[in-house]
Amino acid sequence: MTVRAIITGCGHYLPKRIVENSEFERTLDTSDEWISSRSGIKRRHIANKDETTSAMATIAAKEALEDAGLVAEDIDAIILATSTSDLTFPSAATMVQANLGMTKGFAYDVQAVCAGFVFALANANALIISGQAKKVLVIGSETFSKLMDWEDRSTCVLFGDGAGAVLLERVDEEPESTGLLAWSLGSDGRGSDLLVCPMSGTRQPVTVEGVTAGQQYMQMDGRAVFKWAIRLVEENVQQVVHHSGVPIESIDLFILHQANLRIIDGIRSSLGLKEEKFLVNLDRYGNTSSGSIPLALDEAWRTGRIGPGSTVLICGFGGGLAWGSGVWRL
C-alpha cells in the first residue's frame, strides 16, 4: 500500500483595508513609480487591530475546510507558519484550534519567516506518511504591518498582510506519482542579521531606550537578501526538480515566494522558462511572508490554473536565512 498526502482544499483571507502606493507619497519621500519599478508592488492589504494573525488564519482555515467538505472535528493537526504570532506564547495555532472548536488532535507554529509555509507543508506531509495524522490543516498567516516602521521606505512599502491555508489528506491508493514528489529544506544562520526584528524576544527585552531607537521594528538589508536569493533559489529549484524526476518543462506552475518581481524574473530567466509558468500576485498583495505561497496556491486552485493532476513547484526563501522547495503533483 502506498500512502500519499494530497491537497483537497484551499482557503485564504485578506484584510479589508487596501493601501495603494500613492498613499505613501503623502508621508514618505517615494512615489508609485519608485516602489513599483523596484519591487513590482502596486498595493497591499493591511490588517486592522482585530485582524490578528490567528483571526486571519482561522478564516482561511474555515474556507479550506469548506472547500474540502470537512469540519473541524475531522482534523488531526494544525500547523501554522508565522513570524508574527499574536503572542510570544502560546502558539497562534492553538488559538486557531480553539477558534475552530477543534477539541482533539494537536496544533503548533512553525517559524521560518518567508520559507515557513514550505517547512510547515513538509512537516504535515511527514506526519501523514508516518501515520501520525490523516488530515492536517497547513496555514501561513502574517501581520508584518504591525512590525513596520512606517517612516522607513526601505521596508514599509514592501510588506502586506494575509493568510492562506491548505488541507492535506492521507490517501492509500494513489499512485507514487501523486503528492509531494521531492522537497529540499535548508538554512544558514550566518545570515540571521540580514532580516531581523531586534526587540522581539528575550535577547533584547523591551526598554524605553530600545523603543526610542526603533528596535521594535523589522530591519532588513534588502540588497544583501536580494543577491542571496537570486543565487540560492535557482540552485534549490534545480536541486528539487532533479530529485523529483520531473522534467522542468513538464512542471505546470511555479509558485515562488512573492518577495520582489525582480527576484522572480531573475530566477525565471536563469531557468529559461516562460512568464506564463509563474504565478505572480505581489503586485496586489505585496510581500506577505509565509502567507504568500498559500495565497498563491489558493488563487491558482480557485481560478482553475491548477487542479487534479497538475504538477506545481513551490519555493520559499527569507529570514534565517532559510529556504525550502517542493514539487507537488495534485
The residue count of the chain comes to: 330
Please provide residue 158's backbone torsions phi and psi, each rounded to the nearest 5 degrees. -95, -25
- Distance set, CA 261 to CA 35, 38, 42, 221, 313 (Å): 11, 8, 11, 17, 17
Catalytic residue among 45, 257, 260, 315: 257
User: Alpha-carbon distance 236 to 255, whole Å?
Assistant: 14
Cell of 249: 518543462
User: Alpha-carbon distance 185 to 190, whole Å?
Assistant: 16
Q: Is 257 one of the catalytic residues?
A: yes
- Sheet containing 106-110: give its strands across: 4-13, 162-171, 135-142, 77-81, 106-110
Q: Is 287 one of the catalytic residues?
A: yes
Beta strand 43-46 with 253-256: parallel, antiparallel or unpaired?
unpaired
Catalytic residue among 10, 114, 197, 315: 114
Beta strand 162-171 with 179-187: parallel, antiparallel or unpaired?
unpaired
Cell of 301: 486552485
Q: Is 10 one of the catalytic residues?
A: no
User: Alpha-carbon distance 18 to 227, whole Å?
Assistant: 30
Catalytic residue among 123, 125, 260, 287: 287
Beta strand 311-318 with 77-81: parallel, antiparallel or unpaired?
unpaired
Residues tagged active-site:
114, 257, 287
